Amino acid sequence: NAGVTQTPKFQVLKTGQSMTLQCAQDMNHEYMSWYRQDPGMGLRLIHYSVGAGITDQGEVPNGYNVSRSTTEDFPLRLLSAAPSQTSVYFCASGPRNEQFFGPGTRLTVL
Amino acid sequence: GENVEQHPSTLSVQEGDSAVIKCTYSDSASNYFPWYKQELGKGPQLIIDIRSNVGEKKDQRIAVTLNKTAKHFSLHITETQPEDSAVYFCAAIRGVRGYNKLIFGAGTRLAVHP
């Protein structure tokens, strides 16, 4: 199993650009989540999904969209990038309580 | 809402010493408390967890204790080694609309010096 994979590893955007961060898991997990990690703030939940077709907002959802058309994939879309979205983004999946994290995407918005 | 506080933010120890990281949580309904280790450039990795019906759990050099009355839990690493150097996060589970949401502490950067 590849576990949780994320692409790209690094990305630089200009303010106002849009992009999609990809996340895929091959463990048939129901639950998938997106977090952002900022210095001194731990990990904060952006959006999550409890199964295909079901998504909901976390703590910091503004400026991000998600969809879950399949069990395996959970892309995160930045609609109009802002410098405040400069962060490291982690996708996670799990059967319920336990979550397995991907390697992360480091995003810089200029 | 739920809040998890973690201390210290940085911890420096000599190889072979013990390291202790402490967390407190605010939601008395929380019932699952995992600990994650994050190495440089990688995602967090679960290293140990404890449920609310257990007071202590050990796995080789790592142990976690939970005091539900005081709402705090701690990670203990004995006989530390340089490869234990990493950022450690505690977390508490809060159920939200069928999803068990992890609330993370801010992290502790542990440095183990040879």
Question: Of B32, B97, B105, which has the smallest distance from its Cβ to A97's Cβ?
Answer: B32
> What pLDDT, in 10s, does the model give residues A6-61?
999 999 999 999 999 999 999 999 999 999 999 877 899 999 999 999 999 998 99
> Binning pLDDT at 50, 70 and 90, where does residue B96 land?
low
Q: Which is nearest to B20 in space by CA: B114, B93, B90? A: B90
pLDDT at position B21, please?
A: 98
Cα angle A67, B47, B43 (rounded to 5 degrees) comes to 40
CB < 8 Å to A50, chain B: 98-99
Question: Of B9, B46, B99, which has the smallest distance from its Cβ to A48's Cβ?
Answer: B99
Cα angle B38, B42, B44 (rounded to 5 degrees) comes to 40
CB < 8 Å to B36, chain A: 101
A98 touches chain B (CB under 8 A): yes
Phi/psi for B82 (5° steps) reads -55, -35
> What pLDDT, in 10s, does the model give residues A56-100?
999 899 999 999 999 999 999 999 999 999 999 999 999 877 889
pLDDT at position A20, please?
A: 97
Contact B105, B52 (CB under 8 A): no
Q: What is the Cα Rg of chain B in Å? A: 14
pLDDT at position A3, please?
A: 92
